[in-house]
Amino acid sequence: MASLTTEINRRRTFAIISHPDAGKTTLTEKLLLFGGAIHVAGAVKSNKIKKTATSDWMEIEKQRGISVATSVMGFNYGDYKINILDTPGHQDFAEDTYRTLTAVDSVIIVVDVAKGVEQQTRKLMEVCRMRNTPVIIFVNKLDREGKDPFDILDELESELKIKVRPLTWPINIGARFKGVYNIYEHGLDLFTPDKQKVTERVEIKDVNDPAIDAAVGAADAGKLREDLELIEGVYPEFNELDYLDAKVAPVFFGSALNTFGVKELLDCFVRIAPCPRPTQAEERQVEPGESTFSGFVFKIHANMDPNHRSCIAFVKVCSGIFKRNANYKHIRLGKILKFSSPTAFMAQKKDIVDEAYPGDIVGLPDNGTFKIGDTLTEGEDLHFKGLPSFSPEMFKYIENTDPMKTKQLNKGIEQLMDEGVAQLFINQFNGRKIIGTVGQLQFEVIQYRLLHEYGAQCRWEPIHLYKACWIESDDDAALEAFKKRKHQFMAVDREGRDVFLADSGYVLQMAQTDFPKIRFHFTSEF
């Protein structure tokens, strides 16, 4: 039995984030390919090959070619155990991604060489900055025409507000793309476009080796040497500690679809990325090496397996060893629970695990016991923090189109709301159910999943709202007066908390001015 410290040191738990279409899911696949976790990559876009990407397994994802649910995948690579959390790039699911970032120790950001840094990437980078999460950047799609690599570096620094340091460098780009020089390990990799095979490596001693000229031609070799000289002059030497302190982001270039530049990224990543770090609870800081187990639920997924209608709660192990069939305390409910079939994931394929270490993600079968943010321990009362629900920005009434299926609809709504991608409010004035989300696409996903997973049909009806905010006050009379005055705009959430549904920014501002004793909250954590 390996010691706890050994197991912690070989764990690398990270998320891959990017704008939609930058190639995040493709990169995830290729990392799995190197880990031997899959043997042939699904060509995500091609209709000729019907293999869809391993990490997108919900029906709607296969049809649309986008990832909407965070997938968890674990595999071994050399001496390391790697846990990848593939997050939805689509901004309508940003909240799911924010929560995933609370469960990882580092992040890889994928940037499309042609489009550069896009808005969604900026937002996610802000979350990384808030949490001081170390970041590595992978510039993708070098086999297509795009921006000059130096321009990309400048853009990364100004847009993501972080210093960068290239660790590999491309030789040309687009149609003339010949390969990548590995600055970190002094190697040269020649590019051959092939989705399944790994590229050939030229053994060289350093950048002045004539083997480079023979491989790419004198002109390109000369340009490469000039570029590298410029890089050494402009960017300080790469320092691992600066990366771990989230001050510098190493940059790699490649083409994920052609499995090019991915292995260099992975080899460097396992060497420099942090192993599981301490987690801050409200009570104290929890160290991964503590002997007692603790963990928190950062995501709930309904219907991993449509045949069984089961929900799964994803638990990030923060300290100690999680053991199958051991007794653990569910802090919020104050109950002792034990789990006979905890699972570990390889996209949709899951295996029952006997134990899991800090940094690992364990799936626990859930029939309504868990909420996002719940803590499990061996008895100590801990509350891990930092899993907010944000105030939704889009609202619709949800109506049942088939009265015979009311029970299925209610069960479906309840389980899908547990996942935390949308929120349910019940209007106190007319008793109607309102669904609030961060984006339009979620309404389609909810409607689709209600029909295909629960056999329930719903339709949406418009409602004009600006924002939902949670309200509270120490003065009961003031709270009552507010609820009376605004009774048409009052709702309750699933926890029974008071929610004010403001129909415009002006109304909200006036309410804040007119009722100074009321506190208005825009996230559910207060």
pTM of the predicted protein model: 0.74
Q: Write down the pLDDT at residue 67.
A: 44
**Order of strands across the sheet with 179-182?**
168-171, 179-182, 187-190, 201-202
Choose the weakest-confidence range: 17-21, 314-318, 430-434.
17-21
pLDDT higher than 80, residue 304: no
In whole angstroms, give the CA distance from residue 305 to residue 300.
Answer: 13
Mean pLDDT over the full length of the chain: 81
pLDDT score of 353: 83
CA–CA separation, 385 vs 378, rounded Å? 18
- Measure the CA dihedral 43/345/385/278, to 10°: -100
Read off the pLDDT of residues 311-341 as tens digits, 9 standing for 90 and up. 788 899 999 999 999 999 999 889 999 898 8
What contacts 498, CB < 8 A, 6 or more positions away? 470, 471, 472, 479, 483, 490, 492
Q: How far apart are CA 445 and CA 254, in angstroms?
A: 33
The mean per-residue pLDDT over the stretch 338-360 comes to 80
The mean pLDDT of 481-490, rounded to a whole number, is: 91
Segment 198-221 shows an average pLDDT of 72
DSSP code at position 409: H
Domain range annotation of the chain = 15-73+87-94+105-272, 279-377, 394-521
Nearest-5° Cα angle at 350, 19 to 79: 75
- Among 46-55, 461-470, 471-480, whose mean pLDDT is lowest? 46-55
Mean pLDDT of 348-375: 82
Stretch among 214-228, 382-396, 482-496 having the lowest mean pLDDT: 382-396
**May I ask the CATH class of domain 279-377?**
alpha beta
Domain 394-521 has CATH 3.30.70.3280: yes
pLDDT at 48: 33
The pLDDT score that the predictor gives to residue 492 is: 92
* pLDDT at site 108: 93
pLDDT per residue over 93-126, tens digit each?
556 677 778 889 999 999 999 888 887 788 778 8
Q: What is the mean pLDDT of residues 48-76?
A: 55
With bands split at pLDDT 50, 70 and 90, how would you rate the model's confidence at 8? very high
Residue 56: the pLDDT is: 53
Q: Which pLDDT score, from 0 to 100, does residue 386 have?
A: 57
% of the chain with per-residue pLDDT over 90: 26
Each residue's pLDDT tens digit, 138-182: 999 988 888 999 999 999 999 999 999 999 898 888 888 888 888
Q: Which CATH architecture group holds 15-73+87-94+105-272?
A: 3-Layer(aba) Sandwich (3.40)
Confidence of residue 306 (pLDDT cuts 50, 70, 90): low
CATH topology match: 279-377 vs 394-521: no
